[in-house]
Structure 1
Amino acid sequence: MTATDSLLAVSLSGVRKSFGDKTVLDRVDLEIRRGEFVVLLGPSGTGKTTLLRLLLGQERPDDGEILVPRQRTVVYQEPRLVPSKRALSNVVLGQPRTRQVTEDGRRALDEVDLADKHRAWPATLSGGEAQRVALARALVREPELLLLDEPFAALDALTRLRMQDLVGELVARHRPAVLLVTHDVDEAVRLADRVLVLRDGRFTRDLGIDLPRPRDRTDPATLRHRTTLLAELGVRSNPSEESHVRHD
């Protein structure tokens, strides 16, 4: 990126990606600023995962330009821990085993409230604990871009809320640019600075959410954003309902 782009972590211009006769991304433009938390919503099969793979360099666009920082990490729906390595070894996986790296790994585990689990085997961890190890592994590398691919989807409702709070706190502390893919509208409104809706290969909504944190899901402004996003996804909603609504 040029000096004029110093506040940008991600820049996509005219990006197109097709698989056979199906155009998944149709000349999309996207900018994400450093420290900005962006959430991507959309029906299944609309290109959300393809976009993540492009940002990771796992796919190449058919056309257009993608600029991303060199230092980027990803957390998936499954923790993807190595079963034969303890928690700390999973956090520093792939890094040289120096004293500094070990200290950084312990500090990362402490940040996700797992300091006492540094010698635990993955099989002994709960789902939420394993996902926190995966988050520590991503953040210990101090990424400029953090990609989150439905990281809370497999967790129970209470653990999901706690993980959302934890991710929000850690992102505020480390200040990477974030792109979170989710189907959960409530999750999007709870965490995002901006919410994008991807449909038919294009962004159909770019909604800024300028609300103080922590966010009260019963607040009228929160409910308005929720209703707007559900309508964009083709879902009618009763704003007073209490349950989480997902669009799968």
Structure 2
Amino acid sequence: MSAGAATPAATETGTGPTPAIHVRGLRRVFGDRAVLDGLDLDVPRGEFLALLGASGTGKTTLLRILGALDHPDDGTVLVPRRRTIVFQEPRLVPNKRVLANVTVAMPRGEATRAVGLRALAEVGLDSHARAWPATLSGGEAQRVALARALVREPELLLLDEPFAALDALTRLRMQDLVGELCAAHRPAVLLVTHDVDEAIRLADRVTVLRGGALVRDERVTVPRPRDAADPAFRALRDRLLVDLGVRRPGAGADPTIREGELT
């Protein structure tokens, strides 16, 4: 299908030189409200994009459309065939052991088992292959979900606030793990998050969704590893908080707001 042709549903691309995500004029309407209204977005293969926005602005709606869990009312949506999603909840199958959760719906056999064990080793859980999901901590369960997503070698990885339910320390460790794994596997990544610091820490680009369209699309030039005390980090954070309506232009930090996080 031509990249310029409008379609009411997400269309899969092949493996040619097209972007991993190509969106033009995307509209999604609920009742009389256009949650996404003429949205345009391109994400090259191998790029990590963070999507910020207040609750109800359509971030998860966009992710669900890209993952073929929802449909647009108008516009063009081109995505790769191989794409996977990690949600805020791990969504593990309770009556399957960890390894079986990682390789669920894949062909049975020694080759699949070996691939699954390698994926678990990448997230530091190869010793938990025979464990039941109920015995895992929240961070461990989310690592299993990440292994399940990456074992399929996706061209596009969609992350829907995957760290939101974790404690602060586990959240930082998971951010580091996701950054390392995405650098190794090189899928295109779309991370939906409310956490401004998280977006800056992980992403190559940061976008802000407001009023159904992107009001900011900026490349993150802060050198890695990224330090929240870096003036460039703080300056970008301030710009994003202004875009999100959390801070007035030129205003200092608001002591009533947890730094970096949008609620």
CA drift at 1:17: 1.0
* Structure 2 residues not aligned, in runs of 5+: 4-12
Residues 121 and 10 (structure 1), Cα distance of their counterparts in 2 relative to 1, 3 Å cut: same
Whether contact under 8 Å (2:14, 2:80) holds in the other structure is no
Aligned partner of 1:120 in structure 2 is 131
Secondary structure, counterpart of 1:68 in structure 2: strand
Q: CA deviation at 1:7?
A: 5.0
The change in CA–CA distance for 1:229 and 1:122 in structure 2 (over 3 A counts) is: same
CA contact (8 A) 2:103 2:116 kept: yes
Q: Report the alpha carbon displacement of residue 192 of structure 1 after superposing the two structures with TM.
A: 0.8
Aligned-partner SS, 2:127: helix
Flag the 1:239–1:100 CA change in 2: closer, same or farther, 3 A.
Answer: farther
Structure 1 unaligned segments of length 5 or more: list them: none
Say which is worse superposed, 232-241 or 215-224, in terms of deviation: 232-241
What letter is aligned with 1:116?
S
TM-score when normalising by structure 1: 0.95
Q: Equivalents in 2 of 1:96, 1:28: separation in Å?
A: 38
Q: What residue is the counterpart of 1:55 in the other structure? A: 66
The structure-2 alpha-carbon separation of the partners of 1:3 and 1:57, relative to structure 1 and needing over 3 Å to count, comes to closer
Equivalent residues in 2 for 1:119-158, closer than 5 Å: 119-158=130-169
Of the three residues 173, 191, 203, the one matched with 2:214 is 203
- Aligned twin of 1:246: 261
Task: Give, in whole Å, the separation in 2 of the partners of 1:45 and 1:233.
Answer: 12
Instruction: After superposition, give the CA deviation of every residue in 1:192-238 in whole Å (9 maximum; x if it has no partner).
Output: 11111001101011111023222111111111111111111112374
- Sequence identity of aligned pairs in percent? 64
SS at match of 1:179: strand
TM-score by length of 2: 0.90
How far, CA to CA, are the matches of 1:90 and 1:10 in structure 2?
28
Contact 1:109 1:115 in 2 (8 A): yes
1:212 equivalenced with 2:223 (yes/no): yes
- 1:66 has 2:77 as partner: yes
Q: Corresponding residue for 2:179?
A: 168
Describe the shift of the 1:4–1:145 C-alpha distance in structure 2 as closer, same or farther (beyond 3 A). Answer: closer
> Letter of the aligned partner of 1:83 in structure 2?
P
Deviations, residues 34-66 of structure 1 (Å, cap 9, x unaligned) = 010000000111111110111011222111111
Structure 1 counterpart SS, 2:227: coil
